[in-house]
A and B are shown apart, each in its own frame.
Chain A
């Protein structure tokens, strides 16, 4: 068996479709498709659209806060903006983006022809889309077309009793509930699908210990979606019962508890952070080894740390609630569990550094984003440790320090990793290389903008500025910091413009990529770019974690060492 050649060189497959077809027919193909690659791309496009919408909302808020006592938007509009910004970015930008990567890559990387349930996959995608449309319909549909419409204004965690029908009159909160509920069903469907694909459709020889880390991390993510998103679904059904059937789950007038909503929300809310960040880890764990020219350092430990993060993340939720007056024992418990999660997370950072150590690092834009990710995620983790110390959190919680912290996680960590993934897999998806020049403009503008905005955003928090205020008085000394924060936004917008330019320009004018432009090692690089509908002409057989390394280095294959 040792002499056999398990992986075939990629087959050349001639394009099977004629070049030009009517637009309507192409569109129809995309709408009715059950192909995991097309759905993955649609998830991605959908996520980018909402990323831009959520970004515009953020930019308006930053314009409002740039100077003290500003009157650019009314308090009502501001409250809608931050509610929509948070909800959009979490549920309709970040989640579709990471689901897009999972959809596109998991079947390719396990050597399968599609997901386990392709039609369920399409259903899940369209549910997510409808969820986003329902949420955004609220701008015009809440009370009809009056003024700014009536988007929800309850905050993205929608604390009771602000969502009760007595405080939230009209239907804005209902759009929030139903939008997320509907997209939540889609997410659960996707989770089920990816998990089943991972368990049942791996190619021969791919044992769990030979799965690419990306697949491992996405599997843990999807497990978290199953167990953590469902509680949110349950809580939102309860909220609907309260609002429509006169129930009292969160009705404080009738003995209901506002605190139990917080528990239910954060039982979802904290694992959600890991639902988003594990796929980011997954991307980084694929990109860093390839550009460092070394296998991932400590594969087994990385898998163990991922699983540990998955489980510990289910027991840390109440660190979002240190200020609600829990007993000292409860607070101490959540300090312990929250600090504990920094251990497996730290192990991952060290393993990535260990992977770079002794390598020959090639700095393409994808790798630049990974290094930025490492530095920013380090800082995000450290401010997280500060917030995990409950007494420190009594000061920092709900201040701009927290806002800066979680944007460091989401933008500095997750989105930067997604950018790395875009530059890494774009050649596979389109068959064209992205322009490195435009990419470097994107990288530097975005990173500078990010640091202007979010480094300085910590400071007003330390100076007592709470989040979610539409204005503040000049005497508080927050103005200069807020101005710097708002200026950073301009750089970020410019960075995104360069990304979009790069994506479009390279699609038409980019250099041809070939099957394996990065000299990489996982199965997706063993098929054509873009891959054919059926992914692999013959189902591959693997003997190690890096099947293409074995193919390229028959004298020194990986399976000898694993």
Chain B
């Protein structure tokens, strides 16, 4: 009927439904940021208020290598996205794998750090306020890295099975947004834990 004759000006068109992944991910990032900000506030509020136990300055070393690995994983994931966009699945798989490797190195580094803190410095969740807030905040981030790695690995498996194609580029880049978010949060956690409240 008449509907076909209607032309709505471009300025009156809403965002296309194909943006919904991005918008949804942005919403998730807003919610996650709120969660992290509460943990950051708790960390800063309790900084220096521990009754006992080691202080951050005594036991914390700045995890330079770890941080560089995590930050460069943001770069490799961008390169992977580009490759997929151009349809180069092999190149995508390579950079995607690199991203996972860098994430795993980060987690191993965190594990080594925690091992030292627990067994050499006696810092545990229950030992002092510093321990509680430190393991919670860094652990919350590590948890997000782990979730990200699981997602990355699933996509890698699809790639290896040959199920991933160029047309999935948009969806993959929605997931990459999450990984970038995890990286950005590390900037916050790193500066709060290892610099500001040291």
Judged by CB atoms under 8 Å, the answer to whether A and B touch is yes
Instruction: Look across to chain B and name the residue whose beta carbon is closest to the beta carbon of A200.
Output: B20
Say yes or no: A254 contacts B128, CB within 8 Å.
yes
Residue ID in chain A nearest B125 by CB atoms: A245
B3 and A235 contact, CB distance less than 8 A: no
Contact B20 A201 (CB under 8 A): yes
Please give, as numbers and ranges, the residues of chain B lying within 8 Å of A254 by CB-CB distance: 51, 128-129
A35 to B125, CA, bound (A): 44
For B28, the chain A residues whose CB sits under 8 A away are 188, 192
B121 adjacent to chain A (CB < 8 Å):
no
Contacts of B39 in A (CB 8 A): 234, 238
A538 interface hit (Cβ, 8 Å): yes
Max chain A Cβ within 10 angstroms of own Cβ: one of B2, B7, B14, B126: B14
Q: When each residue 231-257 of chain A gets 1 if its CB lies under 8 Å from chain B and 0 otherwise, what string results?
A: 101110110011001111100001111
CB distance from B37 to the nearest CB of A (A): 8
Which B residues from 1 to 57 make CB contacts under 8 A with A? 1-3, 5-8, 11-17, 19-20, 23-24, 27-28, 30-32, 34-39, 42, 45-46, 49-51
Given contacts A255-B50, A260-B42, contact A207 B125 (CB under 8 A): no
Bound complex: CA A193 to CA B27 (Å) = 9
**A199 adjacent to B23 (CB under 8 Å):** yes
B140-156 CB mask vs A (1 if < 8 Å, else 0) is 10000000000000000
Any A CB within 8 A of the CB of B76: no
Asked whether any CB of chain B lies closer than 8 Å to the CB of A205, the reply is yes
Shortest B47–chain A CB gap in Å is: 12
Q: Tell me the complex Cα distance, A196–B20, Å.
A: 6
From B8, B23, B136, give the contact of A195 (CB < 8 A). Answer: B23
Whether B133 is near chain A, meaning CB under 8 Å from some CB there, is yes
A contact residues around B13 at 8 Å (CB): 204-205
What is the bound-complex CA distance between A205 and B37, given in angstroms? 38
CB of B159 closer than 8 Å to a CB of A: no
Closest-by-CB residue of B relative to A204 is B8
Does B132 lie at the interface of the complex (its beta carbon under 8 Å from any beta carbon of A)?
yes
State which of A2-10, A166-174, A401-409, A445-453 sits at the interface with chain B. A2-10
Given the interface pairs A196-B20, A205-B8, the reply to whether A234 lies near B129 with Cβ below 8 Å is no
Say whether A226 contacts B31, CB under 8 Å: yes
Chain A residue numbers with a CB within 8 Å of B24 are: 116-117, 192-193, 196
Q: Is the CB of B45 within 8 A of A247?
A: no
Number of interface residues, chain B, beta carbon within 8 A: 43
Q: How far is the CA of A140 from the CA of B11 in the complex (A)?
A: 58
Q: Which residues of B are found within 8 Å of A256, using beta-carbon distances?
A: 46, 129
Q: Does A541 lie within 8 Å of B34, measured CB to CB?
A: no
B23 to chain A, nearest CB (A): 5
How many residues does chain A have at the interface if contact means C-beta atoms less than 8 Å apart?
A: 52
CB distance from A145 to the nearest CB of B (A): 32
Residue A230 at the B interface, CB < 8 A? yes
State whether A5 and B15 are in contact (beta carbons under 8 Å apart), knowing that A204-B8, A248-B132, A254-B128 are contacts in the complex.
no
Provide the residues of chain B in CB contact with A201, threshold 8 Å: 14, 17, 20
**Cβ of B32: which chain A residues have Cβ within 8 Å of it?**
230
Interface pair B35/A116, CB less than 8 Å apart:
no
A426–B50 CA distance with the chains assembled, in angstroms: 58
CA distance in complex: A247, B30 (Å): 27
Q: Which residue of A lies closest to B51 (CB)?
A: A255
Residues on A with beta carbons closer than 8 Å to the beta carbon of B7: 1
B99 to chain A, nearest CB (A): 25
Q: Mark A248-270, 1 if CB is under 8 A from B, else 0.
A: 11000011110010001001000
Provide the residues of chain A in CB contact with B35, threshold 8 Å.
230-231, 233-234
**Which chain B residues border A230 with CB–CB below 8 Å?**
31-32, 34-35, 38
For chain B, residues 107 to 133, give those with C-beta under 8 angstroms from any C-beta of chain A. Answer: 125-126, 128-129, 132-133
A541 touches B136 (CB 8 A): no
Q: B residues within 8 A CB of A226?
A: 27, 30-31, 34
**A227 part of interface (Cβ distance < 8 Å):** yes
Q: How close is B1's CB to chain A, nearest CB, in angstroms? A: 6
Contact B12 A196 (CB under 8 A): no
Contact yes or no, A207 B136, CB < 8 A: no
Cβ–Cβ < 8 Å partners of A203 in chain B: 14
Q: Measured between alpha carbons, how far is A256 from B129 in the docked complex, in Å?
A: 7
B14 touches A4 (CB 8 A): no
A200 touches B34 (CB 8 A): no
Chain A nearest Cβ from B53, distance in angstroms: 10
CB distance from A180 to the nearest CB of B (A): 14
* B126 touching A6, Cβ below 8 Å: no
In the bound complex, do residue A260 and residue B12 qualify as a contact, i.e. CB atoms below 8 Å apart? no
**Interfacial chain B residues near A264, Cβ < 8 Å:** 38, 42
Q: Tell me whether A117 and B20 are in contact in the complex, defined as CB-CB below 8 angstroms, given that A226-B31, A227-B31, A241-B125 are known contacts.
A: yes
Task: Given A192-B31, A199-B14, A255-B51, check contact A246 B126 (CB 8 Å).
Answer: yes
Contact for A4 among B2, B11, B51, B126, CB less than 8 A: B2
Given contacts A230-B31, A254-B129, A541-B8, are A238 and B14 in contact (CB under 8 A)? Answer: no
For the complex of A and B, 10 pairs with smallest distance between CB atoms: A246-B126, A230-B34, A234-B38, A202-B14, A247-B132, A192-B27, A5-B2, A200-B20, A116-B20, A205-B8
14 contacts between A and B (CB under 8 A): A5-B1, A5-B2, A6-B2, A116-B24, A117-B20, A201-B14, A203-B14, A206-B14, A238-B136, A248-B126, A254-B51, A254-B129, A255-B51, A540-B3
11 other A-B residue contacts (CB within 8 Å) besides A207-B14, A234-B39, A255-B49: A117-B20, A188-B31, A200-B17, A228-B34, A234-B36, A241-B136, A245-B126, A248-B126, A248-B132, A254-B51, A254-B128
